[in-house]
Amino acid sequence: MKKIVSFLSLFFVVTIFTACGGSSVSKGKTLVDVNGRKITEGDLEFLGTLNPNIAAQLSTPFGKKQILDNLVEQEILYQAAKKEGLDHNRDVQAKIDLYKKVIMAQSFVETSMEKEAKEYYDKNQKEFEKLRLSDIVIRYATPEEMKAAKKAGNPNAPKHSEQEALKLANQVYDKIKGGENFADAAKQFSEDPQTKESGGDLGFVSKEDPKITRRGLSPLLEKAFAMKVSELAGPIKTADGYHIITVTAPAEQAPFEEVKMQIAFKIRGDAKNKILATLKEKSKIVFAEGLQSETSPHVDPQSPPMPGAGASPASEAPHAHPHGEGDGQKH
């Protein structure tokens, strides 16, 4: 399995706390000292900001030790390269310049993307309202589906026909209308194993909440955002069953910091094309004879080809893992 920590990510960190020793990144407790160069908690935190997968690995003692071992190896290799004078080698300098362009270009994209995300957020604030929703579901299935589920030993399989489920859902609705507490009714009657014990609480949800829409429950969201707190609605039919819902907290605006990654993912393609189109309009780009800009492939600033190699910088990574590749261990 490929190492989770890419060479390019390590390159960022190693450059900062070795070539630029004393950087604000190198702060906090010293974890290891390599010939006088300190690797600190701050260095690992910074590495985690470059990639969410790395951040996840840093959350476990084993993963943290793996990354620390990699950083130590990269530091040793870096120091050895300096002693050999490779920092003055013309080819090495050319690669460093290319990496610098990668970092600068991607930083510009990220900064511009955040501005685009904030603009989208300001123009579409209703999209980022969240309310708290509770749900009781009575599930149904065809006789064939119930038979197959029983044969498979599924303890959460539906036990009602559609007609039976609707009848029971109406009975539960009437009980709550008659004064029974919604949460108590959910614990008694709901057939959703994920929310039953919490009284049907689905937490705070948005109008297009992915965790709800993935379950095919969009009709619940449509209804909920037209309801008042404590109002009861149902039964609402979905492919999952018949639902009774109530709003337990009013809609409030989610802060930008909470949703900016969600927005960036949503607008990334269009926003990046817009950024590049604007820059191209302001730039003088002259192709050699026979090369037309219309036919030139798009080059992602994260992955420029190495001169004469046709490979991204990360593909040039020196192997630095203590166990080597193909030793059967997961990294």
Residue 120 lies in a domain: no
**Beta strand pairing status for 241-253 and 37-40?**
unpaired
What's the domain count of the chain? 2
**Does 97 share its domain with 193?**
no
**Does 189 share its domain with 92?**
no
Q: For residue 269, count CB atoms less than 10 angstroms from its CB and return exposed for 0-12, middle for 13-18, buried for 19 or more.
A: exposed
Mean pLDDT of the chain: 80
- For residues 190 and 201, the answer to whether their CB atoms sit within 8 Å is no
pLDDT at 10 over 70: no
**Does 57 share its domain with 166?**
no
Over residues 193-198, the mean pLDDT reads 91
Nearest to 116 by CA among 104, 108, 128: 108
pLDDT at 9 over 90: no
Over residues 209-228, the mean pLDDT reads 89
pLDDT at residue 324 in the model: 39
pTM (two decimals): 0.54
Lowest mean pLDDT across 75-84, 141-150, 270-279, 295-304 = 295-304
Q: For residue 263, count CB atoms less than 10 angstroms from its CB and return exposed for 0-12, middle for 13-18, buried for 19 or more.
A: buried
Residue 73 lies in a domain: yes
Instruction: Kindly indicate the confidence band of residue 266, based on its pLDDT and cuts at 50, 70 and 90.
Output: confident
pLDDT at residue 227 in the model: 93
Instruction: Kindly indicate the confidence band of residue 3, based on its pLDDT and cuts at 50, 70 and 90.
Output: very low
pLDDT at residue 153 in the model: 72
Percent of the chain predicted with pLDDT > 90: 39
Domain limit, last residue, from 254, 277, 307: 254
How many degrees, rounded to 5, is the angle at CA 204 between CA 203 and CA 208? 120
Residue 247 lies in a domain: yes
Residue 270 lies in a domain: no
**Does 86 share its domain with 132?**
no
pLDDT at 33 over 80: yes
Taking only the tens place, the pLDDT of each residue in 95-130 is 999 989 998 998 898 899 899 999 999 998 888 888
**Does 157 share its domain with 243?**
yes
pLDDT at residue 331 in the model: 39
pLDDT at 12 over 70: no
pLDDT at residue 328 in the model: 41
pLDDT at residue 293 in the model: 55
The values of phi and psi at residue 255, to 5°, are -65, 150
Residue 288 lies in a domain: no
**Does 136 share its domain with 247?**
yes
**Does 95 share its domain with 135?**
no
Lowest mean pLDDT across 7-11, 62-66, 255-259, 282-286 = 7-11
Integer angstrom CA distances of residue 281 from 112, 168, 242, 287: 16, 64, 55, 15
**Does 150 share its domain with 220?**
yes
Residue 233 lies in a domain: yes
**Does 93 share its domain with 148?**
no
**Does 214 share its domain with 142?**
yes
**Does 85 share its domain with 33?**
yes
pLDDT at residue 26 in the model: 66
Domain of residue 188, CATH code: 3.10.50.40
pLDDT at residue 318 in the model: 36
Over residues 301-330, the mean pLDDT reads 40
Taking only the tens place, the pLDDT of each residue in 224-255 is 999 999 999 989 999 889 999 999 999 888 88
Residue 59 lies in a domain: yes
Over residues 83-94, the mean pLDDT reads 93
Range of the domain at 201: 128-254
Residue 54 lies in a domain: yes
**Does 145 share its domain with 249?**
yes
pLDDT at 176 over 80: yes
**Beta strand pairing status for 232-238 and 241-253?**
antiparallel
